[in-house]
């Protein structure tokens, strides 16, 4: 039987549920409204979700794995998916028929037996910021699309036949800012017609259009993890997307800002590495704070001056640098465990190694805690922020001052750090934050008390001035 059977105009919200090993589908719907969040579909004998007709479905942060047929089948229905993983479906990852509408964002569709997405007679279709890879047929196949599909900022990689296929004589997909690479038969395939709208994309084979490039897209970790399609800092896809596109407040597959370093990247990932990660370990935490505290209020001639801390480049480690540091407080690299957590799998969280202080910095080492106690190592705010990951970056920085596109580290860097003066600083909030993190024993062990006090007292002075 099905895990859940919806019909006759029913409307159901499903949260935090597991649909596993059902003899038919995980969820069956016909004439229904369905909202599913934070749930897992696994080993269902037919489909993970079977949306028979007239079903409006929203799936957020779900994983749909090892379905016996398609991960999701939808007919004459509206499907919206965000932050979902569709993995190892026996047939297609998604199979939609008969004037269905699809909005797919920040999803991973991989290792399907046939196509990643097979969309037959689809009406409106928008696919953005997705990884579609290692499927047994095409990454995406548009069969007689009714309206022109929008395919923007996707990474479509290592699919067995084509990256994108489409039937002749019908709608022509608008393909922009995509990486379509390593697909066995071809990047793009139509039997007779060609694709006329392919721009600012990284392809294996040269093609007309604006801004297209060919060659290795330069994935950072592909040698060690075939499922990790994050860009390396040296990737030719970095800052090579359409500079005139409209991206609004869109975020990339990691839910980080869609534009970093002044121009959008090709593919689903926007490359970013925080300048406040002074020790380059992939997270901005109290270890970086310790480095910052040592250099606080120094200039190049001072013994403790450290140029990496001069985030707003004026040869003075001052208040504006602190504000920029706060802006990225608890930034974490998106690849590795963080990514797995986002995708609903059981990630391991931070490794204890991220808490080892570098002896080269003249700081004492903190012993890694035994496995299983890792939460104890993290600041409570870090635990909270991971739990609320999609809002993490914004909520953390809003704590200190109103965030706008003009005072982030990357924005300053993009403008050559020409502009000085960061406004609207909430000194009280920063002092409160400093006092709060000092209560953590790990912080006390990692940060020199005198450095911390010096910083705290000088901020107190700043507070008086305000
Ligand atoms: Ca960029
Ligand atoms: Ca990213
Ligand atoms: Ca760091
Ligand atoms: Ca500075």
Cα(169) to centroid(ligand 1), Å: 36
**What is the structure's pLDDT at 341?**
39
- Ligand nearest 273 Cα, by number? 2
- Ligand nearest 257 Cα, by number? 2
**What is the structure's pLDDT at 46?**
95
Token pair in block for residue 264: 């959008």
Residue in the structure block whose two tokens are 């407080």: 329
Residue in the structure block whose two tokens are 């809002």: 391
**What is the structure's pLDDT at 171?**
87
Say if 42 falls within a structural domain.
Answer: yes
Residue 437 pLDDT exceeds 80: no
3-state secondary structure at position 460: helix
**What is the structure's pLDDT at 198?**
97
Cα(233) to centroid(ligand 1), Å: 10
Count of residues in the chain: 466
The Cα 189–Cα 160 span in angstroms is 13
Token pair in block for residue 120: 């037959």
**What is the structure's pLDDT at 34?**
94
CATH number at residue 238: 2.160.20.10
**Which residues on adjacent β-strands are paired with residue 119?**
96, 142
Give the confidence band of 442 by pLDDT, cuts at 50, 70, 90. low
Provide the mean pLDDT of the chain: 80
Say if 23 falls within a structural domain.
Answer: yes
Cα(130) to centroid(ligand 2), Å: 12
- Ligand nearest 277 Cα, by number? 3
Cα(416) to centroid(ligand 4), Å: 13
Cα(427) to centroid(ligand 4), Å: 17
Cα(101) to centroid(ligand 2), Å: 27
3-state secondary structure at position 373: coil
Residue 367 pLDDT exceeds 90: no
* Percent of the chain predicted with pLDDT > 90: 55
Residue 288 pLDDT exceeds 60: yes
Cα(352) to centroid(ligand 3), Å: 13
Find the helix or strand (DSSP H, E) in which 384 lies.
helix 380-387
- Ligand nearest 238 Cα, by number? 1
Say if 405 falls within a structural domain.
Answer: yes
Average the pLDDT over 383-387 and give the result: 35
Whether 170 and 304 share a structural domain: no
Judge residue 55's burial from the number of C-beta atoms within 10 Å of its C-beta, 0-12 exposed, 13-18 middle, 19 or more buried: buried
Which residues have a beta carbon within 5 Å of ligand 1, which is an ion?
239, 260-261, 265
Say if 335 falls within a structural domain.
Answer: yes
Residue pLDDT, tens place only, 132-162: 999 999 999 999 888 899 999 999 999 999 9
Is beta strand 49-51 parallel, antiparallel or unpaired with respect to 85-87? Answer: unpaired
The Cα 241–Cα 176 span in angstroms is 8
Cα(313) to centroid(ligand 1), Å: 21
- Ligand nearest 296 Cα, by number? 4
Which is more confidently placed, 266 or 442? 266
Among 234, 264, 294, identify where a domain stops: 264
Closest CA to 364 of 372, 352, 356: 356
Whether 27 and 171 share a structural domain: yes
Cα(446) to centroid(ligand 3), Å: 13
- Ligand nearest 334 Cα, by number? 2
The Cα 29–Cα 8 span in angstroms is 9
Whether 108 and 215 share a structural domain: yes
Instruction: Tell how far CA 58 is from the center of its chain.
Output: 19
**Which residues on adjacent β-strands are paired with residue 29?**
6, 51
Beta-carbon neighbour count of residue 296 at 10 Å?
20
Cα(209) to centroid(ligand 1), Å: 21
Whether 113 and 81 share a structural domain: yes
Query: Pseudo-torsion of CA 334, 216, 129, 57, nearest 10°?
Result: -110
Is beta strand 263-264 parallel, antiparallel or unpaired with respect to 259-260? Answer: antiparallel
Q: Are 135 and 112 in contact (CB under 8 A)?
A: yes
Domain span including residue 425: 286-465
Q: Are 379 and 355 in contact (CB under 8 A)?
A: no
Residue in the structure block whose two tokens are 């480095």: 291
Cα(231) to centroid(ligand 2), Å: 8
Cα(318) to centroid(ligand 4), Å: 5
Find the helix or strand (DSSP H, E) in which 455 lies.
helix 449-465
Residue pLDDT, tens place only, 298-317: 999 999 999 999 999 999 99
Average the pLDDT over 81-96 and give the result: 96
Whether 208 and 292 share a structural domain: no
Token pair in block for residue 50: 């079977």
Find the helix or strand (DSSP H, E) in which 325 lies.
helix 319-327
Whether 232 and 342 share a structural domain: no
Q: Are 118 and 92 in contact (CB under 8 A)?
A: yes
- Ligand nearest 290 Cα, by number? 3
- Ligand nearest 288 Cα, by number? 3
Residue 374 pLDDT exceeds 50: no
Residue pLDDT, tens place only, 222-244: 999 999 999 999 999 999 999 99
Average the pLDDT over 89-104 and give the result: 95
Whether 293 and 258 share a structural domain: no
Highest-scoring range by mean pLDDT, 53-62, 347-356, 441-450: 53-62
**What is the structure's pLDDT at 285?**
80
**What is the structure's pLDDT at 128?**
98
**What is the structure's pLDDT at 425?**
54
The Cα 330–Cα 394 span in angstroms is 11
- Ligand nearest 355 Cα, by number? 3
Cα(237) to centroid(ligand 1), Å: 8
Q: Are 151 and 144 in contact (CB under 8 A)?
A: no
Residue in the structure block whose two tokens are 């959008």: 264
Whether 151 and 294 share a structural domain: no
Among 206, 233, 264, identify where a domain stops: 264
Residue pLDDT, tens place only, 388-415: 333 333 333 333 333 333 334 444 444 4
Cα(430) to centroid(ligand 1), Å: 29
Say if 273 falls within a structural domain.
Answer: no
Q: For 134-284, where are the E strands, in sequence order?
A: 140-143, 150-152, 155-157, 162-166, 174-176, 179-181, 186-189, 198-199, 202-203, 213-214, 259-260, 263-264
Residue 178 pLDDT exceeds 50: yes
Whether 91 and 215 share a structural domain: yes
Average the pLDDT over 176-195 and give the result: 94
Average the pLDDT over 118-135 and give the result: 95
**What is the structure's pLDDT at 275?**
93
Residue pLDDT, tens place only, 22-74: 999 999 989 999 999 999 999 999 999 999 998 999 999 999 999 999 999 99
The Cα 14–Cα 18 span in angstroms is 10
**What is the structure's pLDDT at 27?**
92
Residue 90 pLDDT exceeds 90: yes
Residue 296 pLDDT exceeds 50: yes
Residue 88 pLDDT exceeds 80: yes
Cα(284) to centroid(ligand 3), Å: 4
The Cα 252–Cα 46 span in angstroms is 32
Average the pLDDT over 364-374 and give the result: 29
Question: DSSP states of 99-158 as a string?
Answer: S-EEEEES-EEE--SS-SEEEES-SSEEEES-EEES-SS-SEEEES-SSPPEEES-EEE-
Say if 276 falls within a structural domain.
Answer: no
Residue 333 dihedral angles phi and psi, to the nearest 5°: -60, 145
Give the confidence band of 336 by pLDDT, cuts at 50, 70, 90. low
* Percent of the chain predicted with pLDDT > 70: 79
3-state secondary structure at position 36: strand
Whether 184 and 301 share a structural domain: no
Token pair in block for residue 58: 């929203």
Cα(298) to centroid(ligand 4), Å: 9
Cα(388) to centroid(ligand 1), Å: 25
Which residues have a beta carbon within 5 Å of ligand 2, which is an ion?
252, 254, 256, 269-270, 334
Contacts with 450 (C-beta within 8 Å, 6 or more apart), sequence order: none
SS3 readout for 392-450: HHHHHHHCCCCCCCCCCHHHHHHCCCCCCCCCCCCHHHHHHHHHHHHCCHHHHHHCCHH
Please tell me the pTM assigned to this model: 0.76
Number of domains making up the chain: 2
- Ligand nearest 312 Cα, by number? 4
Residue 35 dihedral angles phi and psi, to the nearest 5°: -125, 120
Say if 275 falls within a structural domain.
Answer: no
Say if 270 falls within a structural domain.
Answer: no
Whether 347 and 439 share a structural domain: yes
Average the pLDDT over 364-376 and give the result: 29
Whether 252 and 291 share a structural domain: no
């Amino acid at each position: 039987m099905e895990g859940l059977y919806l019909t006759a105009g029913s409307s159901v919200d499903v949260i935090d549920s597991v649909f596993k090993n059902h003899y038919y589908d995980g969820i069956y719907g016909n004439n229904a409204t369905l909202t599913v969040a934070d749930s897992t579909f696994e080993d269902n004998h037919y489909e993970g979700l079977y949306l028979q007709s007239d079903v409006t479905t929203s799936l957020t942060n779900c994983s749909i794995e090892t379905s016996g047929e398609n991960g999701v089948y939808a007919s004459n229905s509206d499907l919206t998916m965000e932050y979902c993983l569709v993995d190892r479906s026996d047939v297609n990852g998604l199979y939609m028929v008969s004037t269905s509408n699809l909005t797919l964002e920040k999803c991973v569709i991989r290792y399907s037996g046939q196509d990643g997405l097979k969309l037959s007679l689809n009406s409106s279709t928008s696919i953005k910021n997705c990884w579609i890879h290692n499927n047994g047929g095409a990454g995406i196949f548009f069969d007689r699309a009714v309206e022109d599909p929008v395919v923007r900022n996707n990474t479509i990689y290592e699919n067995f036949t084509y990256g994108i296929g489409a039937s002749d004589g019908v709608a022509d997909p608008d393909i922009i800012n995509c990486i379509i690479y390593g697909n066995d038969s071809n990047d793009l395939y139509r039997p007779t017609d060609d694709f006329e709208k392919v721009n600012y994309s990284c392809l294996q084979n040269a093609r007309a259009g604006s801004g297209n490039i060919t060659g290795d897209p330069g994935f950072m970790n592909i040698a060690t993890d075939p499922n990790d399609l994050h860009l390396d800092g040296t990737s030719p896809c970095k800052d090579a997307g359409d500079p005139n596109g409209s991206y609004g407040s869109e975020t990339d597959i990691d839910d980080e800002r869609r534009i970093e370093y002044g121009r959008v990247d090709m593919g689903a990932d926007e490359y970013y590495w925080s300048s406040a990660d002074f020790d380059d370990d992939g997270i901005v935490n109290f270890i970086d704070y310790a480095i910052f505290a040592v250099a606080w209020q120094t200039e190049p001639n001072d013994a403790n001056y450290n140029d990496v801390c001069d985030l707003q480049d004026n040869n003075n480690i001052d208040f504006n640098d602190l504000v920029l540091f706060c802006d990225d407080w608890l930034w974490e690299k998106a690849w590795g465990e963080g990514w797995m957590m986002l995708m609903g799998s059981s990630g391991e969280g931070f490794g204890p190694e991220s808490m080892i202080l570098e002896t080269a910095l003249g700081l004492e080492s903190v012993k890694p805690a035994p496995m299983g106690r890792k939460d104890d190592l993290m600041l409570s705010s870090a635990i909270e922020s991971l739990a609320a990951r999609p809002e993490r970056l914004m909520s953390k920085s809003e704590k200190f001052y109103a965030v706008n596109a003009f005072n982030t580290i990357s924005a300053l860097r993009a403008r050559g750090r020409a502009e000085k003066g960061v406004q609207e600083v909430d000194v009280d909030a920063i002092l409160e934050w400093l006092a709060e993190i000092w209560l953590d024993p790990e912080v006390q062990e990692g940060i020199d008390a005198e450095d911390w006090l010096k910083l705290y007292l000088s901020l107190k002075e700043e507070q008086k001035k305000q």
